[in-house]
Amino acid sequence: MFEEDIFTVSQINKFVSKHLRENFSSIFIQGEIAELTITKENWVFITLKDETSSIRCVDFGQKVLKYRDSMKEGSEIIVKGTLSLFEKRATFQLVLEDIKIIGDGDIYQKIEQLKVKLLNKGYFSDDRKKQPPRFPLEIGVVTSLDKHSMAYRDFLNTYKKRFPVTHIYLYDVKVQGDTAVKEIIQGIEYFEKMKNIEVIVITRGGGSIEDLMPFNSELLADSIYKSKKVIVSAVGHEGNISISDLVSDVHAITPTDAANILAPQKDDIALYLKKCIQTEIAKSNSQIVGQYTLIENLMLRSKSNIEYSINEKIQYLKESSYFLKDKVNSLYNIRIDMKNKIRIQFINVKNMIDNKIDLINNKITILNSINPLYILDKGYSIVYKDDKIIKSIVDIEIGDIVKVKLAKGELESNILDKKGNG
């Protein structure tokens, strides 16, 4: 059974690669751009697809870079190139030589047609869009908690750094595939029923035009449009604009951007508290001025009527004066009390923020204290033999070569002697 010629993996990959280059050179393929990436090195990567299949196309020689402004996901194109095999991984691909833009593909045309329909219905109008609260304390996030998804982690980590007092709730959904639209709508409806939720964020990371199709759904657009709560859409990366972004109250280019938009900074909080204090002081001053005016009016009226009943009016004025003085003193005390309460409120908020910062700094200190590299900075070292840490002299023999890791650099040492019993 095994007496025939046996190929190595490298040999068979080279054979297939050579066969492809010799028999499929400068061929033409027509399809729709499902995914397009241009790197900072100006390398072009295209996923070309039809109804049932896809093929990876690459250009490392900037042969098709001149079409970068015409190419977009959803475009129908014809490519010229040579089939090849990336031998290290046996990845099948087409090395591009040239392309021809035919027009927009089916997916892109459907999205554009839906955009026109929703635009005419007023779904994108700024007049109907709601503003997020200045200091949101309850936020619902509709996204995937899949281990490969970073959208929720990016949003949560960024938001908690800026405004840690906010409660953030997650509704876990699929963000691509047949059931994604239904699950995302269910997530919106779930948070819609929670009275404490002030903002709903729907988000996911980047992907191809097909991956982002759930966020170009008319059903999802209807759900966002009808929502009574503020909806923030943060779908894909910068450059990905989905229909959910256009319908939502707030469009963020990434999950991190959504967190930066919603989370207030410390300076905003301090300014808000300062304005509150100024408003309360202005109210108190207005009340005091009003009471002083009342006193003056009463005294003037009393003087004009003094000729009718001198003794009675004098007594009346005395009593009124005592009463008004008590009123003024009472208002002054109220003013002082209000100032104190506002000051205490401001101090409590500041202390809460400072305590959060101290807690984070303490955790960083604890982590540093158990960090082996931190211990090395104190003058200690770690001895390795064959990439294993040496904990006892029984683990090494005279003549062994060991490595000694220091805080800066490593040493290689020869064991000349051993002392102790291990």
**In terms of C-beta density within 10 A (0-12 exposed, 13-18 middle, 19 or more buried), how is residue 291 classed?**
middle
- Between the ranges 212-216, 328-332, 403-407, where is the mean pLDDT highest? 212-216
For residue 186, the model assigns a pLDDT of 97
How far, in Å, CA of 14 to CA of 315, rounded?
117
Higher local confidence (pLDDT), 5 or 165: 165
pLDDT at 306 over 60: no
Which is more confident, 152 or 4? 152
Q: Tell me: pLDDT of 2 over 60.
A: no
> Residues near 241 by Cβ (< 8 Å), separated by ≥ 6?
251
- Residue 260's Cβ-count burial label (10 Å; 0-12, 13-18, 19+) is middle
d(CA 201, CA 117): 24
pLDDT at 384: 86
Strand 27-38, strand 75-86: pairing: antiparallel
pLDDT for residue 117 is more than 90 = yes
Q: Tell whether the model's pLDDT for residue 104 goes beyond 80.
A: no
Q: What's the pLDDT score for residue 305?
A: 60
Q: What is the mean pLDDT of the chain?
A: 85
Q: What is the pLDDT of residue 302?
A: 61
Percent of the chain's residues with pLDDT above 90:
36
* Helical ranges in 95-240 per DSSP H: 106-120, 151-162, 180-192, 218-226
Q: Residue 276 has what pLDDT?
A: 66
Q: How many angstroms separate the Cα of 213 from the Cα of each of 175, 181, 265?
A: 9, 9, 34
Token code pair at residue 107: 């997916």
Using DSSP's 3-state secondary structure scheme, residue 251 falls into: strand
Question: Sheet holding 199-204: strands in order across?
Answer: 167-172, 138-143, 199-204, 230-235, 250-251
Task: Write the pLDDT tens digit of every residue in 64-76.
Answer: 888 888 888 888 8
Of 52-56, 63-67, 247-251, 417-421, give the lowest mean pLDDT range.
417-421
> In this structure, is the dihedral angle defined by the CA atoms of residues 262, 204, 224 and 183, taken in order, positive or negative?
negative
- Give me the pLDDT at residue 422, please: 63
pLDDT in tens, 255-267: 999 999 999 876 6
Residue 48 forms beta bridges with which residues? 33, 55
* Helix/strand/coil for 122: coil
Top-confidence residue, 98 or 408:
98
pLDDT value of position 1: 52
| Strands (E) located in 182-265 | 199-204, 230-235, 250-251
- Which of 56-60, 128-132, 207-211, 358-362 is least confident? 207-211
- Tell me what the mean pLDDT of segment 337-351 comes to: 79
pLDDT for res 341: 79
pLDDT in the model for residue 224 = 96
Torsion 31-32-34-36 (CA) sign = positive
